[in-house]
Amino acid sequence: MRQELSLDELRKEIRKVTLEMLRLAGKRLSLAKKIGEIKRQRGLPMEDLDAEKELKHIVLEKCRVYGVDERFGLKLLNLLIDEAKRVQGESEGC
């Protein structure tokens, strides 16, 4: 019975962490929109490959620290970057 309880507790924690990740993703997208607005006002290109490269380097370092597979970390980062670019692109028409 204790094993069942433990499994339920772990599943609750997984849900909690997943929802927190979604909250943080929403915050990240909000920040990306603001960055896009500033870039537009200043006439800067939407894509900043140097900033992406620096962030990828930091993510790889943190993957090693947190014991996260580097391929997974980069996939997640690429997904976040792609979504930020999509959101910034949608804002261009505003």
Mean pLDDT of all residues in the chain? Answer: 93
Main-chain dihedrals φ then ψ at residue 69, nearest 5 degrees: -55, 130
Using one digit for the tens of pLDDT, what is the confidence trace for 8-40?
999 999 999 999 999 999 999 999 999 999 999
The CATH number of residue 35's host domain is: 1.20.59.10
Range of the domain at 27: 2-91
**Residue 93 pLDDT > 90, yes or no?**
no
Q: Closest by alpha carbon to 83, among 51, 36, 50, 38? A: 36
pLDDT-derived band of residue 92, with 50, 70 and 90 as boundaries? low
**Per-residue pLDDT, 5:** 72
Question: Of the segments 5-9, 21-25, 44-48, which one has the largest average pLDDT value?
Answer: 21-25
Q: Say if residues 84 and 29 touch (Cβ distance below 8 Å).
A: yes
**Per-residue pLDDT, 56:** 98
Alpha helices, H only, the chain = 2-42, 49-66, 70-91
Tally of domains in the chain: 1
pTM of the model: 0.85
